Structure 1
Amino acid sequence: MKYHRKLSFLIFLLLPVFAFAQVKPATSFRIVPLGVLGGADESNLSAYMLAAKGTNNYICLDAGTILAGIAKAQAYKTFTVPAADVLRKYIKGYFISHAHLDHLAGMVMNAPDDSTKNIYGLKSTLETIKTHYFTWKSWANFADDGGAPLLKKYHYKPLEPGIETAIENTNLQVQVFPLAHSNLTSTAFLVRSNDSYVLYLGDTGADEIEKSQNLHNLWVAIAPLVKAKKLKAIMIEVSFPGEQPEKSLFGHLTPRLLMNEMGELSKLSNTSLKGFNVVVTHLKPPYKNITQIKAELKAGNKMQLNLIYPQQGKALEF
Structure 2
Amino acid sequence: MLRNHRFITVLYFLLIPFSVFSQSKPSFRIVPLGVLGGIDESNLSAYMVAAAGTNNYVCMDAGTLHYGIQQAVDNKVFSIPTEQVLRQYIKGYCISHAHLDHIAGLIINSPDDTAKNIYALASTIQTIKTHYFTWDSWANFGDDGEAPTLKKYHYQILTPDSIIPIKNTGMTVQVFPLSHSNLTSTAFLVNSNDAYILYLGDTGADDIEKSHNLHKLWQAVAPLVKSKKLKAIMIETSFPDEQPDKTLFGHLTPHWLMAEMDDLASLTGTDALKGFNVIITHLKPPQTSIYKIKLQLFNENKLNLNLIYPQQGEVIDL
Work out whether the TM-score is over 0.5: yes
- The match for 1:270 is 269
Moved more, 211-220 or 77-86: 77-86
User: Using the alignment, how far apart are the partners of 1:72 and 1:162 within structure 2?
Assistant: 37
Larger Rg: 1
Is 1:136 paired with 2:135? yes
Alpha-carbon deviation of 1:267? 1.0
User: Using the alignment, how far apart are the partners of 1:25 and 1:233 within structure 2?
Assistant: 15
- The match for 1:228 is 227
Unaligned runs of 5+ in 1: 1-23
User: Using the alignment, how far apart are the partners of 2:78 and 2:40 within structure 1?
Assistant: 23
Unaligned runs of 5+ in 2: 1-22
User: Using the alignment, how far apart are the partners of 1:224 and 1:26 within structure 2?
Assistant: 22
User: Using the alignment, how far apart are the partners of 2:287 and 2:251 within structure 1?
Assistant: 17
Is 1:300 paired with 2:300? yes
User: Using the alignment, how far apart are the partners of 1:238 and 1:271 within structure 2?
Assistant: 21
User: Using the alignment, how far apart are the partners of 2:119 and 2:95 within structure 1?
Assistant: 6
Which secondary structure state, in structure 2, belongs to the residue aligned with residue 149 of structure 1? coil
Matched letter for residue 289 of structure 2: N
**Contact preservation (8 Å) 2:66, 2:105:** yes
Which secondary structure state, in structure 1, belongs to the residue aligned with residue 134 of structure 2? coil
Alpha-carbon deviation of 1:25? 6.0
**Contact preservation (8 Å) 2:33, 2:64:** yes
**Contact preservation (8 Å) 1:227, 1:271:** no
User: Using the alignment, how far apart are the partners of 1:226 and 1:271 within structure 2?
Assistant: 11
**Contact preservation (8 Å) 1:50, 1:58:** yes
- The match for 2:290 is 290
- The match for 2:185 is 186
Which digits, 9 at most, give the CA deviation of each residue in 1:167-193, with x for residues without a partner?
A: 111110100000000000000000000
- The match for 1:211 is 210
Q: How does 1:125-204 map to 2 (within 5 A)?
A: 125-204=124-203
Q: How does 1:1-318 map to 2 (within 5 A)?
A: 26-272=25-271, 273-318=273-318
- The match for 1:4 is none
Which digits, 9 at most, give the CA deviation of each residue in 1:70-94, with x for residues without a partner?
A: 0110111111101111000000001
Which digits, 9 at most, give the CA deviation of each residue in 1:108-162, with x for residues without a partner?
A: 0000000000000000000000000001011100011111111110110000102
**Contact preservation (8 Å) 1:177, 1:188:** yes
Matched letter for residue 210 of structure 1: E
Moved more, 232-241 or 69-78: 69-78
Aligned residues: 295
The TM-score normalised by the length of structure 1 is 0.92
Alpha-carbon deviation of 1:54? 0.4
Alpha-carbon deviation of 1:26? 2.6
Runs of 4+ in 1 over 2 A off after TM superposition: none
Identity among equivalent pairs (%): 68
Which secondary structure state, in structure 2, belongs to the residue aligned with residue 275 of structure 1? coil
**Contact preservation (8 Å) 2:270, 2:303:** no
User: Using the alignment, how far apart are the partners of 1:269 and 1:218 within structure 2?
Assistant: 13
Which digits, 9 at most, give the CA deviation of each residue in 1:25-76, with x for residues without a partner?
A: 6310000000000011000000000000000000000000000000110111
The TM-score normalised by the length of structure 2 is 0.92
User: Using the alignment, how far apart are the partners of 1:71 and 1:168 within structure 2?
Assistant: 24
Matched letter for residue 215 of structure 2: H
**Contact preservation (8 Å) 1:188, 1:200:** yes
Which secondary structure state, in structure 1, belongs to the residue aligned with residue 234 of structure 2? strand
User: Using the alignment, how far apart are the partners of 1:199 and 1:108 within structure 2?
Assistant: 24
Matched letter for residue 169 of structure 2: T
User: Using the alignment, how far apart are the partners of 1:85 and 1:199 within structure 2?
Assistant: 27
Which secondary structure state, in structure 1, belongs to the residue aligned with residue 61 of structure 2? strand
**Contact preservation (8 Å) 1:226, 1:271:** no
